Amino acid sequence: MMIDLPNTTTSKVAKKLISSRRTHGVVALSRVMTLVVITREGFAENAIEAANLASREHPCRIIVVVRGNKSEANRLDVQIRVGGDAGASEVIVMRTYGPDVVADEALISALLLPDAPIVAWWPHGVPQDPAGTALGKLAHRRITDSAETEDPTAALFSRIATYRAGDTDLAWTRLTLWRAQLASIIDLIGTDGLNGITVKGSDNSPSTTLLAAWLTMCLDVPVTIAADKSNGGLSSVRLAREAGDVELSRPSGAVAHLYLPGSAPQRISLPRRSVAECLAEEMRRLDADDVFGEVITKGLNLTNLRSIRSSDR
């Protein structure tokens, strides 16, 4: 069910939520958090769809703040979605218009679930300092997606100076399965005789850069980024060894191939993860991701990674 409230206020929206809950039996007590989505017109529905799917694992209240035309008169239009239109959540879509209606604490405070954690998500565009924004200051976790920017690499490196505990990026979350597989491979073959690593991926893939930084920190060996012109993101990791190279490759599809010296290629399930899957993973934890923090603040500052990436662009 959708309830439209044009040219309204947050207090009226809060009252309507209570009345609709009584009328239609929507219970807010089962909600475990508030997810605040900050986006812009034209991208809202895709973000809402992903948030709804993630809410099936983490029932929550979803507040979507959509920035409209600043040149129009000040106005707040709201749509409340409950029941089948909202997955396992309540969705409140707030469209702001005019120069004075801004995304800040005053806009959403009346709609936050009491005593529940707050997660902020920017599905399109990365603020210079997510933790320093008005809504970022309220959040326990702040999720960005550097891959959904005009210059993903620049957006990623801009986080070095502004990272705060609680920040994360879906470019990192997309690497969860890759990192698990690589950790298993390294446990199997060991690090003796490991001379270098080549990480191959599209030249606009922040995940490729993050994986290279993580491997450099973990293994302390030279890492090369082999950038290509595809749009497929990360495609392979080759470990150069004296005993023979080892490669994990997934050029396309959901199945990767592991090449070990003297063995037939092994097929490994390594599917590409959807935005909803990555968002659900980040919503599982409310503590800081210390590994991501170290990769951002230390790994990306490694001279070889910075110079290699700059020469590829």
- Considering the domain architecture, whether residues 17 and 91 belong to the same structural domain is answered as yes
Final residue before a domain boundary, out of 114, 145, 170: 170
**277 and 228 assigned to the same domain:** yes
Identify whether residues 129 and 201 lie together within a single domain: no
Residues 11 and 150 in one domain: yes
Q: Which of 37, 14, 47 is nearest to 119 (CA)?
A: 37
**Both tokens of residue 215?**
């491997």
Provide the residue range defining the domain that includes 182.
176-312
- Determine the 3-state secondary structure of 138 from DSSP: helix
The DSSP-derived string for 27-43 is -STT--EEEEEEEETTS
Q: Quick one: pLDDT at residue 306?
A: 47
At which of 115, 139, 170 does a domain end? 170
Please check whether residues 66 and 96 belong to one and the same domain: yes
Q: Are residues 123 and 70 part of one domain?
A: yes
* Whether 23 and 145 share a structural domain: yes
Cα separation, 97 vs 257, whole angstroms: 50
Question: Angle 70-6-80 (CA atoms, 0-180°, nearest 5)?
Answer: 105
Looking at the 3D structure of the chain, how many domains does it have?
Answer: 2
Among the candidates 141, 170, 199, a domain finishes at 170
* Cα–Cα distance for residue pair 65/67, rounded to 1 Å: 6
- Pairwise CA distance, residues 138 & 108, whole Å: 10
What confidence score (pLDDT) does residue 85 get? 59
How many whole angstroms separate alpha carbon 201 and alpha carbon 191?
23
**Residue 200 three-state SS:** strand
Task: Please state, as a whole number, how many other Cβ atoms lie within 10 Å of the Cβ of residue 46.
Answer: 14
Which CATH number covers residue 214?
3.30.360
Structure tokens of 179?
């990192």
Give every CB contact of residue 281 below 8 A, 6+ residues apart in sequence: 173, 176
- pLDDT value at residue 313: 42
Q: Which tokens in the block code for residue 132?
A: 């320093």
163 and 180 belong to one structural domain: no
**What CA–CA distances, in Å, run from 35 to 77, 109, 173, 190, 284?**
19, 13, 17, 42, 12
79 and 188 co-located in one domain: no
Q: Is 11 in the same domain as 132? A: yes
Query: Within 13 Å, how many C-alpha atoms sit on residue 194's CB side?
Result: 23
With 0.85 as the threshold, say if the pTM is over it.
Answer: yes
Instruction: For residues 125 and 220, state if they share a domain.
Output: no
Q: Mean pLDDT for each consecutive 10-residue tract of the chain (313 residues)?
A: 92 88 59 92 93 90 93 94 70 94 92 93 93 95 95 92 96 97 95 94 91 93 86 91 96 92 95 95 92 94 56 44
CA separation, residue 143 to residues 33, 56, 126, 139, 156 (Å): 14, 18, 9, 10, 13
Q: Same structural domain for residues 18 and 128?
A: yes
Work out the number of other CB atoms within 10 angstroms of the CB of residue 89: 25
